[in-house]
Amino acid sequence: MSINRNSAIPIYRQLYLILRSQIEANEYRADDILPTEEQLAEQYAVSRVTIRKALQILVDDGLIVRQAGKGTFVYPQKIEENLYSLQGFAEMMASDYPTQVMEILNFEVIQAGADLATSLTVPADDKILRIKRRHKVEQRPVAYAIIYLPFEVGKLFTPDDVETTPIYTLLARKAGITIGQATQRIAAIAANHEIAEVLGIAVGSPVLTIKRVTYSTEQKPIEYIQLYYPGNQHELVMELYRDGSQNTVYTRNHADY
């Protein structure tokens, strides 16, 4: 593709579309470095101001990242998670991204405390299992999960179990638990030092977080999880219907949470 100087489309927009099509066609792959501003200006016979405007749109689209002193890199493909049904993050990743690697960063028994006791409906002095797990695709951190399980359930699992197998699968296989439903909250936050270090991002970077309590078919809380995703690498997808027969909304009072 080339620049059409007789087109009504601004030149910077044409250049943006050219570069975007090259990225989408995998002419530039994840983590590839793009030509420099000088090289692009020479190749397309345009000014560097035009180059910068085109590149900025690609940045805004989440397709590239510009690093001072290093260059402009193609951003890895976003992880897409659908909200059509209840599934664990590890389950989704195992299905859609089979090359994922799960790393156990922490596996220990702790005291519940007030907040976790409320989420899992256990006494505050009860023991619970806390698991900190990093998910990576092609050596790239894509999620940080902090998982809390009642001790009566967590004692059945080993570090090897949770490093190789989704929690929902372990709940069914080793604890004989059938999952019924979950309540989750989604929010945007700024990464603290712990989250930034695990995900390999800067402190203060935008992070998408999901906090979910999963219940058995007996309405008993059996897992509380906090998930953290780099804000520009993850998308949540759901379908919405105006026809009430296809979409059911359950309303709850704040006290129910």
DSSP string, 130-188: EEEEEEEETTEEEEEEEEEEEHHHHTT--HHHHHHS-HHHHHHHHH-PPEEEEEEEEEE
Summarised one tens digit per residue, pLDDT across range 71-107 is 888 876 666 666 666 777 777 666 666 777 899 999 9
Residues 116 and 206 in one domain: yes
Check pLDDT > 50 for residue 67: yes
- Domain finish residue from 74, 106, 123: 74
Residues 48 and 127 in one domain: no
Under a CB-based contact definition with an 8 Å cutoff, are residues 72 and 28 in contact? no
How many structural domains are present in the chain? 2
Instruction: Tell me the helices (H) and strands (E) count for the chain, helix number first.
Output: 9, 10
CA-closest candidate to residue 15, choices 26, 34, 2: 2
Banded pLDDT at 43 (limits 50, 70, 90)? very high
**Does residue 162 lie within any of the structural domains?**
yes
Residues 51 and 66 in one domain: yes
Domain limits at 193?
Answer: 79-256
Residues 68 and 84 in one domain: no
The total of other beta-carbon atoms located within 10 Å of residue 93's CB is 23
| Cα distances (angstroms) measured from residue 19 to each of 24, 29, 56, 72 | 9, 12, 12, 12
DSSP string, 84-117: SS---HHHHHHHH-TT-EEEEEEEEEEE-HHHHH
Residues 95 and 70 in one domain: no
**Does residue 222 lie within any of the structural domains?**
yes
Check pLDDT > 60 for residue 146: yes
Q: What residue type is assigned to position 156 of the chain?
A: L
Residues 86 and 193 in one domain: yes
Residues 88 and 191 in one domain: yes
Under a CB-based contact definition with an 8 Å cutoff, are residues 21 and 1 in contact? yes
Residues 48 and 152 in one domain: no
Residues 182 and 236 in one domain: yes
Q: Which residue has the tokens 């179990």?
A: 161
Summarised one tens digit per residue, pLDDT across range 170-179 is 999 999 999 9
How far apart, in whole angstroms, are the C-alpha atoms of residue 188 and residue 200? 17
Residues near 98 by Cβ (< 8 Å), separated by ≥ 6?
none
**Does residue 2 lie within any of the structural domains?**
no
**Does residue 160 lie within any of the structural domains?**
yes
Residues 45 and 98 in one domain: no
**Does residue 151 lie within any of the structural domains?**
yes
Residues 162 and 187 in one domain: yes
Two structure tokens written together for 71? 């260059």
Summarised one tens digit per residue, pLDDT across range 181-209 is 999 898 999 999 999 999 888 889 889 89
CATH number at residue 30: 1.10.10.10
